[in-house]
Chains A and B, each alone.
Chain A
Amino acid sequence: MKTEDIILFAIKTEAQQKPNKKLIIGQKSMTYKELASKIEAKLAKKKLPKNERQFIESFVQNSIIMYKTNPTFRTKMLELASPVKC
Chain B
Amino acid sequence: MPFLDLADADAVKGEVAEALQKHPDAMLVHYDHGDTTELLGDNAEPVIDLANVNLLSGHECYNMNCLSGKVLGAVAHNEHGCPAYWGYVEVVSFTTDALEEFKTALNYGFYKRFEGLSWEECVSTTKKVMQQLANQLATEGKLIASVAMTSNMNALVCYNGGSEQPQVCPFRLLLHKMLPQKFKKYAWKLSRKAALAMMLQPAGIGFAVHDFVVECQHISNPYRIHGFWWGMIMIIAGLFLWTWEIVNWLNLKRRIC
Interface range for B:
20 to 34
Chain B residues closer than 8 Å to A83, beta-carbon distance: none
Q: Is the CB of B147 within 8 A of A62?
A: yes
Could you count the A-B residue pairs with CB atoms below 8 Å apart for me: how many are there?
Answer: 70
CB distance from B34 to the nearest CB of A (A): 9
Residue picked from B93, B139, B142, B154, most chain A C-beta under 10 Å = B93
Q: Is the CB of B93 within 8 A of A24?
A: yes
Chain B residues closer than 8 Å to A11, beta-carbon distance: 143-144
Q: Is the CB of A73 within 8 A of B138?
A: yes
> Using a CB–CB distance below 8 Å, which chain B residues touch chain A?
33, 66-67, 90-97, 134-135, 138-139, 141-144, 146-148, 150-151, 154, 252, 255
Q: Is the CB of B90 within 8 A of A58?
A: yes
Other CB < 8 Å A-B pairs besides A73-B146, A76-B139, 9 of them? A10-B143, A14-B143, A18-B97, A25-B93, A26-B66, A26-B67, A55-B91, A58-B151, A62-B150
Interface range for A:
20 to 34
CB distance from A12 to the nearest CB of B (A): 11
Can you offer 9 A-B residue contacts whose CB atoms are under 8 A?
Answer: A24-B93, A24-B94, A26-B66, A26-B67, A49-B255, A66-B134, A72-B135, A73-B138, A73-B146
Decide yes or no whether A68 CB sits under 8 A from chain B. Answer: no
Q: B138 contacts which of A24, A32, A62, A76 (Cβ < 8 Å)?
A: A76
Q: Is the CB of A63 within 8 A of B147?
A: yes
Decide yes or no whether A70 CB sits under 8 A from chain B. Answer: yes
In order of increasing CB-CB distance, the 8 nearest A-B pairs are A73-B138, A26-B91, A21-B97, A25-B93, A26-B66, A22-B96, A72-B138, A23-B95
Cα distance A63–B134 in the bound complex, in angstroms: 12
Q: Is the CB of A73 within 8 A of B143?
A: yes
Q: Is the CB of A72 within 8 A of B144?
A: no
Assuming the contacts A11-B143, A66-B147, A73-B146, asked whether A25 and B91 have C-beta atoms less than 8 A apart, the reply is yes
